[in-house]
Structure 1
Amino acid sequence: MEPEILARLARVEARYIELNDEMTQPDVLSDHVRLTTLAREQTELGELVGRYREFLQAEKALEESKAMLREENDPELREMAQMDIEELSARMEAIGAEVRVLLLPRDPNDEKNVIIEIRQGEGGDEAALFSADVYRMYQRYAETRGWKTELMSLSENGIGGFKEVIFEVQGQGAWSRLKYEGGVHRVQRVPATEARGRIHTSTITVAVLPEVEETAVEIKQEDYRIDVYRSGGHGGQGVNTTDSAVRIVYKGGTPDEIVVVCQDTRSQIKNRESALNVLRARLYAREQEKRQKELGESRLAQVGSGERAEKMRTYNYPQDRITDHRIGQNISNLPVVLDGALDRLIDALVTYDNAERLKALGMGA
């Protein structure tokens, strides 16, 4: 590892030891809030300190093996020393790669729940049907991670497709994995509604928003209105007999209105709460986008126009292939992926993202 990274790790270890000493002081032990804060900081540094100490141990063992290789005449011992050198060098290189990633600034949203919005783009009913497929893919993926999904709003097309579906994924680390799913998803297949068997290309848009605490985004009452009306969703006759659906129209002093509709439950209060959560998440995302542009960090918005030419991932049914265009990676066995096996794709995106961020910080391997 580079000297500047080792120096940084030494400072982290010093802080870790300092925190340990602080937490044994009587005045800290009697202050629950302060003790919790210090313990949290130490926990966050723990993995990095552990890797640093592993590296130092391996470095010491490597020097000992090199000394043995220089000084020993016994062929068998020299061979053992050479094997140790190769093994320890590989271990140190692996630890170095892990440390670089651990040193990257943490995304403050990584442990948050997420709100996902899926909308049909071009392709009519076929796009709506694919929206339903992708919704089920995320549901099943959430199940494999032990996360919970909660439907917030659904607009159907009458033949099993979704014009729009909004849902929440609740679970530790949901944002850290699903944040890579935002963008235009393109599907190429023969639609179930196509009698002649021609391959069609359709698009859907996916927006992934971190859940935002109520105190993080201020929403003034004068900036929005709430409409209530009779739900016409999939919930059956029981839903349709009450004015439970909620529409929030937010103006907020900007030329573009934000409209959020939630109608999935019979409770007007619950739908209102869900709609406000979605609005809060959209406003937060908009502010983050504005801040990134001001800092010169150009990044395309997650939701484009839904044009066929705009794509971040293509699902090609005839060729049983999924292509992620951001990293140029293809994987096969499309039905398994649509059944929730997304980790292979997401892992590749995490690796690529980390490598790009390391390059930007001048810490490339």
Structure 2
Amino acid sequence: MRDKLEKLIAAYAELERKLSDPSVVADQKEYMRLAKEHAHQADLVAAAREYLEALDDIEAAKEMQHETSDPDEKEMLQADIAENESKLPQLEEDIKFMLIPGDPNDEKNTIVEIRSAAGGDEAAIFAGDLYKMYQRFCESKGWKTTVLDASPSEAGGFKSIEFKVEGDKVYSVMKYESGVHRVQRVPKTESQGRIQTSTATVAVLPEAEDIDIHINQSDLRIDTYCASGPGGQCVNTTYSAVRITHLPTNTVVQSQEQRSQIQNREVCMQMLRARLYEMELERQQAELGAERQSQIGHGNRSEKIRTYNQPQDRVTDHRIGFNSTYNGVLLGDQLGTVIDALAAADRAEKLAEAVD
């Protein structure tokens, strides 16, 4: 392991040398690529240096033990050895995990789609509650959210809503939210107090940049229309709303939330790039069963990644059997605790695979 870590540290030093090379600085694209790699490797190199330093300190202390006859000094050196040896197991685990190739999308912003599924009006209300939950969570992380498109329900909530989340390593956190979310509670519209089960689907897409996916303008059909509010009431007498159809894949995106046609068109292109990028990822990962349907299912009540049970004040994430409280997750600030548990389980699984 020492040889591998020493080579890694040497490669990092070479990377730092390149970043100070005037010819690299002049090439902004290459400079940004190397700077991103430098930042990505920083924690791993720091852990590697700490690990090697601990090994060197242990070796030096053992040599000094052989050279001294002072009992007090021997005892002090043994304490140093024990302290450094206690660091090694955790450092080894951290290094092994950081050596596992990461998800290249983890650094990206995301586009989140929430759609009501089984349950009629109550499902739409639940979709609205999920959106509010994510809004609060993103605010707590210092992330920016922007609604890209929304289809409100007359009963409240949304038939569907799509929004963009921008911030530090957004996708690395939000990706765990993809799937079918199920709620069990007494709907506001229920007069006899009966508990109803409803579902909403959540899809988290990494935002695709121009360099990720190339779109031919000739493959697009662009339609404009008047934006409208709930119930069809006209809220815009100009053709500012935009619908874009990607003809080769028959993918349709639309936006009417922005004030101008130009802004809505740019939003549509962001959503289209994200969807086409996701399609390409699915194609590449099809052999591993990572198709989109495995993310969000069909929206049936029997399909779920998480259940929000209001009468029992309990939220259960079925992927890891983790429990929290209904009010704490859906109405409060405990969503981060659930996601942290999912990330820890994912980390443990990757470490196990690496050992295998």
TM-score class, shorter: 0.7 to 0.9
Aligned to 2:301: 308
| Aligned equivalent of 1:110 | 106
Which range moved further: 36-45 or 337-346? Answer: 36-45
Report the TM-score, using the length of structure 1 for normalisation: 0.85
* Identical counterparts, % of pairs: 46
Of 241, 247, 255, the match for 1:262:
255
**Matched position secondary structure for 1:14:** helix
Alignment check: 8 A CA contact 1:139 1:340 kept? no
CA positional deviation for 1:269: 1.8
Q: In 2 relative to 1, CA 83–189 (structure 1 residues): closer, same or farther, beyond 3 Å?
A: farther
For residues 243-288 of structure 1, give each alpha carbon's deviation from its aligned partner in whole angstroms, at most 9, with x where no partner exists. 3222223331x5xx32222111231221122122112211110111
Determine the C-alpha separation between the residues in 2 that align with 1:280 and 1:208: 14
Answer yes or no: is the 8 Å Cα contact 2:129–2:330 preserved in 1. Answer: no
Contact 1:314 1:322 (C-alpha < 8 Å) held by counterparts? yes
1:59 is displaced (CA, Å) by 2.4
**CA offsets 1:93-130 (integer angstroms, 9 cap, x no match):** 11112112211212222221111110000001111011
Q: Deviations over 1:276-301 (max 9, x none)?
A: 211221111011111101xx212252
TM-score, scaled to structure 2: 0.87
In 2: Cα distance, 1:106 partner to 1:13 partner: 19
Deviations 1:119-148 (A, max 9, x none): 000001111011011101111111111111
Say whether 1:339 aligns with 2:332: yes
Equivalent residue, structure 1, for 2:44: 48
CA positional deviation for 1:326: 1.5
SS for the counterpart of 1:205 is strand
Corresponding residue for 2:136?
A: 140
CA pair 335-160 structure 1, distance change in 2 beyond 3 A: farther
1:245 aligned onto 2:273? no
The structure-2 alpha-carbon separation of the partners of 1:48 and 1:215, relative to structure 1 and needing over 3 Å to count, comes to closer
Counterpart-to-counterpart distance in 2, 1:236 and 1:89: 70
The aligned residue for residue 291 of structure 1 is: 284
> How far, CA to CA, are the matches of 2:309 and 2:259 in structure 1?
39
| Aligned residue number for residue 355 of structure 1 | 348
What is the count of residue pairs matched by the alignment? 352
Residue identity in the other structure for 1:306 = G
Structure 1: where are the runs of 5+ without partners? none
Q: Helix, strand or coil: the match of 1:204?
A: strand
Q: Which runs of 5+ in 2 are unaligned?
A: none
RMSD: 2.9
One-letter identity of the residue aligned with 1:261: Q
The aligned counterpart of 1:276 is 269
State how far apart, in whole Å, the 2-side matches of 1:136 and 1:30 are.
43
Report if the CA contact (8 A) 2:315-2:329 is conserved.
no
Question: Contact 2:227 / 2:234 at 8 angstroms: preserved in 1?
Answer: no
Alignment of structure 1 residues 203-242 onto 2, 5 Å: 203-233=199-229, 239-242=235-238
3-state DSSP of counterpart to 1:281: helix
Quickly say closer, same or farther: Cα 1:359–1:75, change in 2 above 3 A.
Answer: same
CA apart distance, 1:159: 2.5
